[in-house]
Structure 1
Amino acid sequence: MDWDKLRIFHAVAEAGSFTHAGDVLNLSQSAVSRQISALEEALQVPLFHRHARGLILTEQGETLNQTVREVFSKLAMTQSLLTESKEKAAGRLRVTTTTGFGTCWLTPRLHRFMETNPDISITLILEDNDLDLGMREADVAVRMHPPRQPDLIQRHLADFPLPIYASQSYLNDHGTPRTLEELNAHKLVLFGGYHPPVPHINWLAETGVPSDERRQARLEVNSLAAMAGAIAAGIGIGSIPLYAASQYPNLVKILPEVPLPTVDAYFVYPEELRTSKRVAVFRDFLLAEINARHH
C-alpha cells in the first residue's frame, strides 16, 4: 500500500467520483481510475461499488478510509506543529464556534488578536453543530457546553447568563410582565431550529407553565443575532446570552428576580496541540478579552 495510492483513494472516497477527485488532485480521471484499480488488485478486494451516479465505498473501502483519514489527519497535525516557529506563533489557526458567539462576540474583537499576532492568519468556521476536532475539521473550538469527546483538552472560559429582554417600545405598548406567569399574555421571540446553539435557549417557553405545555413563539428564528435584532425592534420578549444582547444597548432587562440559566463557554482543542504556540496565544487572548470587559 504505497502512500500515493492511499492519498488518491482518500480523495476519491471523500469526493465520491473519479472526476471530482481528479480535479482536487490535478490528475486526469483515467489516471485516478487506474491507481484505484491497481490498489484494488494489490489488496485483492473491491473498494468501491461503481454506480451511474457515482461511487460508493464497499465495506472494505469504508474500513480502509477510516484508517487513512486518521493517518492523514495525524500527518496534517504533525505538519502544522513542525511548521510552527519555535520563537513566535505563526501560521494558520482554524477556529470554530457557534454562529451567535462568532458573529456577536468573537468577530468584533478579533482585530485585537490580529494586531498583536501579525504572523497568524485565522480561518473562522461558524457552525452550530460541533465539528470533529479529532478529525481536524478545525484546530480549536469555543463550545457553549462541556465537551463530550473525552480526548480533548478543555478550559472553562465564562458563564454567560441568559437575561430576559424587551424593547422599551414593546413595554410601552404591551406593559411589563411582573412574573413568569404573566408572560403567557405576551409575545415571545424564541430560537427555532434543529440545533440549539446553547443549552436552555428556549427556557422561557417552558418555565412557569405545566410540564406538558409550552408557550408559543410569536417569532422563531434560527440565529441568536437575529433574535437580538427582533427583540430590539419590538417584536416581543426573549432571552438571549449577554454577548448577543450587547450590540443593542437600549434593550431593557425585565423580571430581574427570576433566576437565570447560564451558558458555559469552553475553549477546546486536541491533546496533540498541547504544545502549539498558536493555540496558546489564542487561548490567552480569549481569557484576556472575557476578563477585561467581563462579557
Structure 2
Amino acid sequence: MHPRSLDESSASQSAGSHRSVDPRKLRADDLRYLLAVARTGRLVAAADALGVDHTTVSRRVAALEKSVGVRLIERGTEGWALTDIGRAVSENADAIEEALNRVVDTVAGQDSPSLHGTVRVTAPDGFGTVFATPALVRVRRRHPRLHVELITATRQLALRPSGFDLALVIGVPSSSRLVTEHLTDYTLGLYASDDYLTRHGRPETVAELREHALIFYIESMLQVGDLDIEHHLPGVTPAFSSTNVCAQLEATHQGAGIGVLPAFLAQRAQLRRLLADEIDIRLPITLAVRREAVTHPAVGVLSAALRQEVTERAAELIPE
C-alpha cells in the first residue's frame, strides 16, 4: 500500500464524495481490517491483532478503498491514520464488529457479552505501574478474551496520535483527534532516605537544596513541560537523572540524593518527605482517547475502571 500525497488524497476524497457506492460490492469483513489499522496505527500491529500477516491487512484495506472509491487511511510520521472519511466509515464499522462479537458470544452460550480484541494503553511509568495496571488487570479478569497492551513512558502525545487507543498523560494534551477528560491530580514532593539524611543532613530551606544532590528527569530529554524542574525549583540542577521515574525512586532509596517524586511512589518506599510546606507540586493526569476509538466498548470499560481506581485511592495521589 503506497501513500499518496496530501493533494492526491484530498482530490480523491473530493472526487469520491458524491460517488454512488454499490453496497453489494462491499465486504463487511474488510471493515474489521480498517478498524484494526485505525486502532493500532501500524499494519504489523493490526495484523497481530487479527491473526494474519501485514500484507493481508494492506490488501484488504486497499480492497475496501477501491470499493468505496476514496482514500480511507494515509501515512503519517506516527504511522497510519484515518482520513476524515475513513474516520466516519470506521465509526459505522464498530457496529458491525460488535454484531460479530455478539454472534460469537451467543454461539459460546454466554449470557452477557464479553469484550474482545486488543486495546493499547499508554501511561507514565509510575502512574501506569501503580494505578493503571491494577485497573486493567481487574477488567481482564472479567473479560479473559480481551487483550490489553500497556506502554509506559513519560512523554507528550503526538499531534496526530496513533499507536494507542487510550492514553494517560501528565498535563493537558491539545489535539482535535483526541477526546480528553481530567482524570485526577497527583502530588510530587521532595523525598530522601534515612541513610542519606544521616550522611548529608536535612535541608531546612529551599536555598539549602543547592548543597544537596537532586534526583529528577534528564532535562534535555524531558518532553513534558509540566515537569520542568526550573519552573518548580529555579537554579537547582539534578545530579542524578533518569528518563524513568522508577529508576529515580530506586536512586533515592539507595541514598544517591533527594528525589522529586510522586507521593504515591515515595510513600511506598518509606522515604522521608522534606520541605512539604514549601514544595508541593500538583499536576493533572488527563485521560485521552483517540476519536476513532471512543466507541470501542473495551475502551469505555477500561476508562471506567481507571476512574474507579483513582477515586478509591485518592488518598495515595494527594496525601494529607
Query: TM-score by structure 1 length?
Result: 0.68
**What percent identity do the matched residue pairs reach?**
24
Larger CA deviation: 259-268 vs 86-95: 86-95
Q: CA deviation at 1:217?
A: 2.1
CA-to-aligned-CA distance 1:7-63 (integer Å, 9 cap, x gap): x2249xx99xxxxxxx8427xxxxxxxx9xxxxxxxxxxxxxxxxxxxxxxxxxxx9
Q: CA deviation at 1:160?
A: 0.5
Q: CA deviation at 1:123?
A: 1.8
Q: Tell me whether 1:254 sits opposite 2:274 in the alignment.
A: yes
Instruction: Tell me if the contact between 1:142 and 1:267 (Cα under 8 Å) persists in the aligned partners.
Output: yes
Q: CA deviation at 1:197?
A: 5.9
Q: Tell me whether 1:25 sits opposite 2:55 in the alignment.
A: yes
3-state SS of the aligned residue for 1:226?
A: helix
Among 66, 77, 82, the alignment partner of 2:96 is 82
Q: How does 1:1-295 map to 2 (within 5 A)?
A: 8-10=1-3, 24-25=54-55, 65=75, 69-71=81-83, 74=87, 79=93, 82-84=96-98, 85=101, 88=113, 90-91=115-116, 92-132=118-158, 136-196=162-222, 198-203=224-229, 207=232, 209=234, 214-248=235-269, 250-294=270-314, 295=317
3-state SS of the aligned residue for 1:263?
A: strand
Please name the residue that 1:53 is paired with: none
Q: CA deviation at 1:81?
A: 5.3
Q: CA deviation at 1:112?
A: 1.9
Query: TM-score by structure 2 length?
Result: 0.63
One-letter amino acid of the structure 2 residue matched with residue 141 of structure 1: A
3-state SS of the aligned residue for 2:128?
A: helix
Using the alignment, how far apart are the partners of 2:135 and 2:240 within structure 1? 30
Please name the residue that 2:21 is paired with: none
CA-to-aligned-CA distance 1:45-88 (integer Å, 9 cap, x gap): xxxxxxxxxxxxxxxxxx9756x842496366655553234663
3-state SS of the aligned residue for 1:288?
A: helix
Using the alignment, how far apart are the partners of 1:10 and 1:128 within structure 2? 31
Using the alignment, how far apart are the partners of 2:303 and 2:138 within structure 1? 13
Using the alignment, how far apart are the partners of 1:245 and 1:80 within structure 2? 42
CA-to-aligned-CA distance 1:170-212 (integer Å, 9 cap, x gap): 1111111111011111111121154436544353x55565xxx
Gaps of 5+ in 1: 1-7, 16-22, 27-34, 36-62
One-letter amino acid of the structure 2 residue matched with residue 25 of structure 1: T
Label 1:25 to 1:215 Cα distance change in 2 as closer, same or farther (>3 A).
Answer: same
Label 1:114 to 1:64 Cα distance change in 2 as closer, same or farther (>3 A).
Answer: closer
Larger CA deviation: 88-97 vs 162-171: 88-97
Q: CA RMSD in A?
A: 3.5
Label 1:102 to 1:169 Cα distance change in 2 as closer, same or farther (>3 A).
Answer: same
One-letter amino acid of the structure 2 residue matched with residue 70 of structure 1: L
